[in-house]
Amino acid sequence: MGFLWSTLPADQQQELAQLFEQFTISSYVAEFNAYSGQSFKVLPEEKALGAKEIVETQLIPGDGSEPVELDYVMENGANGWQITDVLLNGTISQVAVHASDFASLVTSGDASPLIKALKDKIAALQNLPAAQ
């Protein structure tokens, strides 16, 4: 959200925080919707990224095809280590992709279009009717 976050009313900030959490979880679950022998491998070395750490993993398909690199950007905060971003193939940031998708839906002091879009995306990911 960047600098626009501070211009939003507290109730929209609170709702957005909840919706971003629901959206992140729903998106992740939707990506892993079936099991056919896949496994995760955590690679032994972490990379420092300033105060953050990158934990490298591979999603290994059950059919023997090439592994998919999924790297987790971790930050140690008040609640301990938490994932703050996921990098596909080491470079494609999930946070950056979503920020680009949502940037046009927020204006100074109003995030209602973004709130509606997030509710619709969550509903679609969970196969629920869209928000009204």
Mean pLDDT of the chain: 87
Q: Tens digit of pLDDT for each residue in 53-103?
A: 999 999 999 888 999 899 999 999 899 999 888 998 888 888 888 888 888
Distance of alpha carbon 54 from alpha carbon 32, whole angstroms:
21
127 CA to centre of own chain: 19
For residue 89, the number of C-alpha atoms closer than 13 Å in the C-beta half-sphere is 2
Reported as half-sphere exposure (CB side, CA atoms, 13 A), residue 84 has a value of 13
Report pLDDT for 42: 92
- For the record, the structure tokens of 35 come out as 């099991």
Specify the CATH number of the domain 2-125. Answer: 3.10.450.710
Say what the pLDDT of residue 131 is: 58
Side chain identity, residue 28: Y
Where in the chain are the domains?
2-125
